[in-house]
Each structure stands twice: as C-alpha cells, then as structure tokens.
Amino acid sequence: MAALSFLLSLQITLLLLIPCSCQVGDSCSSARDCGAGLYCGNCAAAGKTRTSCIRDLAIQPTSIVKGLPFNRYSWLVTHNSFSIVGEPSRTGVERVTFYNQEDTVTNQLRNGVRGLMLDMYDFNGDVWLCHSLQGQCYNFTAFEPAIDTLKEVEAFLSENPTEIVTIFIEDYVHSPMGLSKVFTAADLMKYWYPISEMPTSGMDWPSVTDMVAKNHRLLVFTSDASKEASEGIAYQWSYLLENESGDPGITGSCPNRKESQPLNSRSASLFLQNYFPTIPVESEACKENSVGLPQMVETCYAAAGNRIPNFISVNFYMRSNGGGIFDVQDRINGLTLCGCNTIAACQIGAPAGSCKDTGAPNRTSSSVNGNVYSGTIEFKSHASSAASNTNIWSNFVGLLSLVLVCQAVLIFQALVFI
C-alpha cells in the first residue's frame, strides 16, 4: 500500500510539473494549462462563458514564404496602439478617454503585430500620443510623449534584424520639423524607408529580402500631405488604399475612406483594411474579431477587386473566441502566397497548391510552437455542413487523448490544493 501511495504521489507530482499543452478551444483554468502562444479566457459576448485556450501569437508569413514583394503579404495592425487599458496618467490628471489595446507596444510587436496606428499631437512643448477633441490634445486625453513608444519600436527593430514595422500617423503635429525631430531622437532614421524608393502607380514594392538587406525596415505614413515635401514623410493615401474606419468599416459594403482612391483602383499597391467600431468596447471585441471580421474581410476583398488587405487594423487584437485576427491573417497569407488554406501549409520552393497536410482541408489550421489553431474564412465559397461535421469529428478524435490529459491535470491540481 505504501508503495502504491508513493507511485500515485509521484505520478501526480510529474503531472503537475509538466505544463499541459492544451490547444485552441480546450478547457483551461489558467494560462499554464494552455500551450505556447495561447492564453486562458472566454468570450461571453459570443455566448462562450467557459474558459478555454485562446490564441495570442501570429505566424510571420516571411518566416515561411520568403523573398516576395512587400505588398504580397498581409500584416496585423493595432488601432490606436498607444491607447492601452491601465496605462497610468503622465499628466497628473485622471484620463477620460477611450481605450483600444490591452498590452504594451513592445508586447504587441513580440506577439506579431507589424503595424502601429499612432495619433500624434503638439502638447506640452513636445510631440505626444493622445486622443483628441476637435484636433486638440488635453491633459485628460494624453497618454505619453511619442518618443517613449518610438523607442520601443527602435528596441524591437534592433533586437529583430529581419523584421519590418509600419507606422501610420494620424498627424496633428504643427511644430516645425516636429515629427522628424522625434523620430531622430528615437534613433529610428537608420531604419527609415525613403520616399524616393516607394513605388507609385500600383507597382510592386521591393522584396522583403531587399528591404532587410538595405535596412529599410521602418515604413512611416502621415495623414498630413504637406509633410511629404517638408519632412520626407510619405503621405498615406498616395501609397495606400483604405476603407472607411469606425462603424462604416465593420458592416455594409466596405466603402473607401474619403481621402482614399476607390478600393478597386490600381493606383496604389497597398490596401489597409480598418475593422473596429467607432466606440471601442473591450468585452465585445472577442465577438467582433471572431465573427464580424472574417465576414468583412470577404466583403472588402470583393470591394477591392479581389485584392487582399495588406494591413488589417483591429482593437484589442488578442481578444477572440479562439483564433480571431491571427487565423484570418494565416488564411489570407496562405491563399495568397502559396495557394494553401493557411500559411502553415505552405512549402518553400514547392509549386502553388502543393500544401502540407494540416488535417483540416476546409478550415484554416495553423501551427505555432506545436499548437494547432483553426478558424474559418472563405473568399470564394464556404465549406459544406457535412465537411464541417467531418472536421469537427476528426479534430475531436485526434485531440481526445490530449484533452483527457489536460483534464486529469486540472483534477489533480484541484485535489492537491483543496
């Protein structure tokens, strides 16, 4: 009996020491139960109150399909990247404004975000990141000096010499050379992509390989047309097409923003898709990013003349009921770059359509650090209910043993800590 008790105790100890690598959708009680690239949460807005593993890490398409023009890829963008829940006031006044993200810019970049939307203003004799009231920054809407966030970008680019980051500036800076000074002070000019090399008339951009080789790894666009001549900062709508932001961008026919050419124009080779409501609601974002976003990607794809979004901008990017923006991005990159249902199925050097078997032919199935993520998005047709049922059964059978192990760990943890 003593030996049996010892073996049981040893088994429990080993189970507790080995992290449970549950996958997307599996039940969890804490982040420890989930595999790398996942956290434990729920999506009550979509009727999913049970906590389960949710994805929070992107697959970088250039790590799998290399050397294509920059405009062939799709990148994740955070809307108002600086507007972070819980960010302490830097003005001594309690902040009264909206919030759009939940983690630092550094963490956003580490999780695979490659585009940042930053609102910049003249404030307190410096350039600040701020929400506005009629184009004016106030102490109760201000977040921090822009240089602080730009230094986070510089640190990331320095630590990751093959990565490319794009910054979109909603520009209210009127001080002479104000933007140039703050980017120079942040030591970012060494990564600057010069306007003289930006393609026009819808031509392809250089390959990501060439951009990295030249260290042209920071693209900066401004909403102020005058800055192109005065400071050498690209005027956004000379190089990008963009749909309407706010509520018009999350339902309906995907109209173009008034500053942009029509989405089906071939005057520019980059397309930025906005997908976030006018008033951000943190608890609703998981539903928006899981249900509404895939639908609007299809709508905007058609509105843009079968053109993929090169940038997709969202609020609370990690919130979903499983895969969210990460699955959407994988699907787009897979279909575009190699003709596969997901970027993870692409094979280097293989002809288009030569895809790895992901075990889910009609669903996105992506792998990061051994974890499999599944989501749905179709540009041309939708999977039949029969195929969907087959996939669900196949996934269930394939993951049954893993789920049982995860559940066993949770039970043992409960017993031990009672």
Please tell me whether residues 30 and 95 are part of one structural domain: no
Residues facing residue 312 across a β-bridge: 76, 273
15 occurs within a structural domain: yes
Rounded Cα distance between 399 and 84, Å, is 36
Please tell me whether residues 92 and 152 are part of one structural domain: yes
386 occurs within a structural domain: no
Instruction: Give residue-wise pLDDT tens across range 67-121.
Output: 999 999 999 999 999 999 999 999 999 999 999 999 999 999 999 999 999 999 9
Please tell me whether residues 318 and 206 are part of one structural domain: yes
57 occurs within a structural domain: no
385 occurs within a structural domain: no
Please tell me whether residues 157 and 225 are part of one structural domain: yes
Instruction: Give residue-wise pLDDT tens across range 23-38.
Output: 889 999 999 999 989 9
Please tell me whether residues 263 and 406 are part of one structural domain: no
What type of residue sits at position 256?
N
Please tell me whether residues 148 and 293 are part of one structural domain: yes
Would you state the structure tokens that stand for residue 418, as one six-digit string?
């009672």
Instruction: Give residue-wise pLDDT tens across range 296-321.
Output: 999 999 999 999 999 999 999 999 99
Please tell me whether residues 346 and 202 are part of one structural domain: yes
For residue 348, what pLDDT is reported?
A: 81
388 occurs within a structural domain: no
Rounded Cα distance between 149 and 136, Å, is 20
For residue 409, what pLDDT is reported?
A: 43
Please tell me whether residues 404 and 359 are part of one structural domain: no
Mean pLDDT in residue range 153-168? 98
Q: How many domains is the chain built from?
A: 2
Residues 6+ apart with CB under 8 A from 353: 338, 339, 340
365 occurs within a structural domain: yes
**Residue 176: which CATH number?**
3.20.20.190
For residue 19, what pLDDT is reported?
A: 53
For residue 335, the surrounding DSSP H or E stretch is helix 324-337
Confidence check: pLDDT of 413 > 50: no
Confidence check: pLDDT of 387 > 80: no
Please tell me whether residues 13 and 125 are part of one structural domain: no
112 occurs within a structural domain: yes
Nearest Cα to 101, choosing from 120, 122, 123, 116? 116
Q: How confident is the model at residue 20 (pLDDT cuts 50, 70, 90)?
A: low
**What is the pTM (predicted TM-score) of this model?**
0.85
206 occurs within a structural domain: yes
Listing DSSP states for 352-385 in one string gives TT-----S-TTSEEEEETTEEEEE---SS----H
Please tell me whether residues 261 and 321 are part of one structural domain: yes
Q: Which domain range does residue 144 map to?
A: 62-380
Please tell me whether residues 15 and 96 are part of one structural domain: no
Instruction: Name the least confident of 150-159, 225-234, 395-404.
Output: 395-404
Please tell me whether residues 158 and 294 are part of one structural domain: yes
